[in-house]
Amino acid sequence: MDSVRLLTEGAVEVKGRMPWSSNATFLAELCLDGTVGLAVYKPERGERPLWDYPPGLWRREVAAYIVSETLDLGFVPETIERVDAPLGQGSLQRRPAPVAQLDQPVPVTRGAEPVDMSGQLVEITALDEFSGVHTNGQGNDRFDRGSGKCGRSRTAAARRTSASTSSSSM
């Protein structure tokens, strides 16, 4: 089944909260006509407002997918707007499965095959900057230059560790 159809029409069941996200970000299970898949669900209702962005931060996720597809880059998993999701309007983004630990890097794939994206850093950076998704917090996939893998951003965790080390040494 087409993953966009599963995201758009499938029944959505929230399975749990994604750890280390600055906004409410959930792992959701989708089910349609016997097909089951995983998605990352970001409801607008769970956003922490940013001073420099209007409400609806999840729209940047959808925009990044549209731009990636329009430019035939294929960097962003299928991402759609869903109004009827359990916690209200937000984005649903296909999540590769199975994922043993959601905070560990997972290979970037096109279809079922892993893809080495290390030669496409200019395009990835341009997409990141153009779509505005780069300003998102801890619960976003990020490309790792050294491994060619995509995984959880750890910047907020690094800041917390750095802050606690600084304050404990005073």
Count CA atoms closer than 13 A to 89's CA, side-chain side: 8
| Four-point Cα dihedral 157, 158, 162, 164, nearest 10 | 10
SS3 state at 82: strand
If we measure between CA atoms, which residue out of 97, 108, 93, 118 comes closest to residue 150?
A: 108
pLDDT tens digit string along 64-87? Answer: 899 888 888 887 889 999 999 999
CA 48 – CA 41 distance, rounded (Å): 15
CA 117 – CA 110 distance, rounded (Å): 11
Which range has highest mean pLDDT (17-21, 32-36, 56-60)? 32-36
pTM of the model: 0.66
β-strand partners of 92:
41, 80
- pLDDT at res. 135: 45
